[in-house]
Amino acid sequence: MVLGLDIDARQAAYPGLHLFDLKDGILYGPIPSRRLGLSLGINFLPYGNKTCSWDCLYCQCGWTGKEGSPAAADPARFPTVAELSAAFEEGFPALAKAGQSPDTLTLSGNGEPTLHPRFGEAVDALIRSRDRHLPKAKISILSNAERAAEPEVRAALMRLDARCMKLDAGDAATTERLDRPLTPFDLDRHVAALAALRPVLIQSFFVAGALDNTGPGLVAPWLDCLGKIAPEEVHLYSLDRVPPAKGLQAVPKAVLEGIAGRVRARGIPARVFA
């Protein structure tokens, strides 16, 4: 069993990593991203509180508390579409005037962006403001893809420039242990939803220690799922910021490169971030 840490113990347990601060607004950055260049973060979620449909052992945002779960999240706590639009219309021209031109506007923030109750409208407001003020910037999303099978959410995702969606395991048992979905999880449905998003980029997190998803018996079914999805690229990464769970270890770059080589052998581009 992987034990949890309270916030005061997290940094002490992982002295070489940095804590992630939950966002108290809509825009944050821009910051250099290992994967997305100069990235301006976009937070569609309640301020100062993680809101997510998963409770991953490694999540930089910490644990998903009761009030942040899909069943308990209060729609009134999400920024309205009007508030989001106002933030874009104020912040984007200011960036352009300051000579800061982000490569990417990244939907991420305090959890799972697609949980916004008016996600499609929020996406459209973001696209309109981007087109007016930062037309060279791409709009990307970092998502666990749990809502990607819903027609309205899928349609909104397809209006973005890039979809970075999660697949950490190729079997339901490992997904349940590592990603800890807070709603009923069906791996076949998840894979089918990812395949329907083409082009899609898959991001996969690997850990060692208290839970290890790098073994051949676990990597093989994950590769089979990638074959069904046919992503344009796979990004492999490991611990970079402090997780909420105890006993996790970063996977060495050489191990990640070995897994990436097996992805490439199937004709799928893969990159390692370590």
CATH of domain 7-273: 3.20.20.70
The continuous run of DSSP H or E covering 93 comes out as helix 81-97
pLDDT of the residue at 11: 74
Find tokens 């696209």 and name the residue. 127
pLDDT of the residue at 7: 59
pLDDT of the residue at 189: 97
Two tokens, residue 108: 């991420």
d(CA 39, CA 90): 17
b/e map of 35-67 (b: 16 or more CB within 10 Å)?
bbeebbbbbbbbeebbbbbbbbbbbbbbbbeee
How do the pLDDT tens digits run along the chain, 274 residues long? 455 556 567 777 788 787 888 899 999 999 888 778 899 999 999 999 999 999 999 999 999 988 899 888 899 999 999 999 999 999 999 998 998 889 999 999 999 999 999 999 999 999 999 999 999 999 999 999 999 999 999 999 999 999 999 999 999 999 999 999 999 999 999 999 999 999 999 999 999 999 999 999 999 999 999 999 999 999 999 998 999 999 999 999 999 999 999 999 999 999 999 8
What sign results for the dihedral spanned by CA atoms 22, 144, 206, 274?
A: negative
- Close Cβ partners of 194 (under 8 Å, ≥ 6 residues apart): 145, 148, 165, 167, 200, 202, 229, 231
- For the chain, which residues make up each domain, given as ranges? 7-273
pLDDT of the residue at 1: 46
